Amino acid sequence: MNKNKMLVSFFIVSESIFFLMLILAYVNFHRSVTEGPTAANSLNPIKTGVFSLFLLASSLTIWFAGISLKKKNHKMLCTWLLLTILLGVTFLFGQGLEWVGLIKQNITISRNVFGTTFFTLTGFHGFHVTVGLIMLLILLGLALAGDFKGPESDAVESVSIYWHFVDGVWIVVFSVIYLWAFL
């Protein structure tokens, strides 16, 4: 394994532990909320599920970007990177809409334990999506400038690994917050 992928893997392990702690905190405190807003009475899993599909689709598009790189198809590499970015931005837009709607209902990070754990967990994930989008924008800029002619690039592969991690974490977060509340 080359050093770039190894460093990304170490970073992902450390972030996985942090996410695990946030998820465990959410699960632990989930049962203690007896009054006020909860996931079951405040969230719309169908609407968030639709926006989640955009994020999950972006894992496919970043994978296609990697395939385009291997085939030395520079134009398609740029196209798939751009589409990945647009799908990620669409997901963040959906999360922003949800946050604004909750805040309008006076559901905030300081309202109760649900608000604290929900906004912390989804905000931390949103931060990671934003960092991933910045990395993807840098890759796209470099690709448009003529870098990444293929068939391999440590940068593209490392960012792809990170992006798949962000998507995988969301599957767990969505399952715990949105689906578990309605079981």
The residue type found at 176 is V
Average pLDDT over residues 17-31: 91
Q: What is the CATH number of the domain that holds 171?
A: 1.20.120.80
Specify the pTM. 0.92
pLDDT at 1 over 90: no
Share above pLDDT 90 across residues of the chain, in percent, rounded to a whole number? 80
The answer to whether position 5 is within a domain reads no
Q: What is the pLDDT of residue 5?
A: 86
pLDDT of residue 30: 80
**pLDDT at 140 > cutoff 90:** yes
- Domain annotation covers residue 62: yes
Q: Note whether residue 59 is domain-resident.
A: yes
* Residue 124 included in any domain: yes
* In-domain check, residue 12: no
52 part of a folded domain: yes
Number of domains within the chain: 1
Q: Which amino acid is at 108?
A: T
* Residue 132 domain-assigned (yes or no): yes
- Supply the pLDDT for residue 128: 97
Assign residue 134 a region (left: φ > 0; alpha: ψ between -120 and 50; beta: otherwise): alpha
- Encoding tokens for residue 44? 């719309």
User: Is residue 73 in a domain?
Assistant: yes
Above 80 in pLDDT, residue 110? yes
What's the full length of the chain, in residues? Answer: 183
Q: Which of 37-41, 43-47, 80-84, 173-177 has the lowest mean pLDDT?
A: 37-41
114 touches 38 (CB < 8 A): yes
Q: In the prediction, which pLDDT does 116 show?
A: 92
Q: How many CA atoms lie within 13 A of 179 on its CB side?
A: 9
Mean pLDDT of 104-123: 93
What is the residue range of 151's domain?
43-182
Q: What is the pLDDT of residue 105?
A: 95
pLDDT in tens, 65-75: 999 999 999 99
